[in-house]
Amino acid sequence: MTQATPLAVGADAPNFTLKDQNNEEVELASFRGDKAVLLVFYPLAFTGICTGELTALRDNLDTYQNDHVQVLTVSVDSAYSHKIFSEREGYEFPLLSDFWPHGGVAQAYGAFFAEAGIANRATFLIDKTGVVRFSEMNGPGEGRDPAAWEAAIKEL
């Protein structure tokens, strides 16, 4: 298995435009100067660990998304899959589709697990100027601790 290397703290976050679960385009640069972005890559919708992590975001959304921070989640699933997933689970934050070019944004962030064609569990906190202030990555079967995200947000 080839281990990807996630984008490092201090790096400029690559801009992207992806479609959300409502088939609306979301551009990372649109938050620049206004809000930091908590960018959460996950392998696949409807899977146990992924659902658990996104549900933790949903249940504590005011901790991670507010006037200063926007949550954006990304997987290789289609926008149509994300629509059903978000409706079923009550996710009100953007679920972005990195479907085509397949995993292109995950690749730009060093978060793509090429052997499986999915994103690793990578999280980045991008400040208002577009600089990565927090970076972590776990493999597909390894859950993350959202307390680390909360701590990184508090440090902004």
Among 50, 56, 118, 152, the active-site one is 50
Catalytic residue flag (residue 121): no
What is the Cα–Cα distance from 51 to 91, expressed in whole angstroms? Answer: 10
Q: Is residue 150 part of a domain?
A: yes
Q: Containing domain of residue 40, as a range? A: 17-155
Q: Is residue 6 part of a domain?
A: no
Q: Is residue 1 part of a domain?
A: no
pLDDT digit string, tens, across residues 114-149:
999 999 999 999 999 999 999 999 988 889 999 999
pLDDT band at 31 (very low <50, low <70, confident <90, very high): very high
Q: What CATH number is attached to the domain comprising 31?
A: 3.40.30.10
Q: Is residue 83 part of a domain?
A: yes
Q: Is residue 2 part of a domain?
A: no
Q: Is residue 72 part of a domain?
A: yes
Number of domains in the chain: 1
| Residue 65: other Cβ atoms inside 10 A | 19
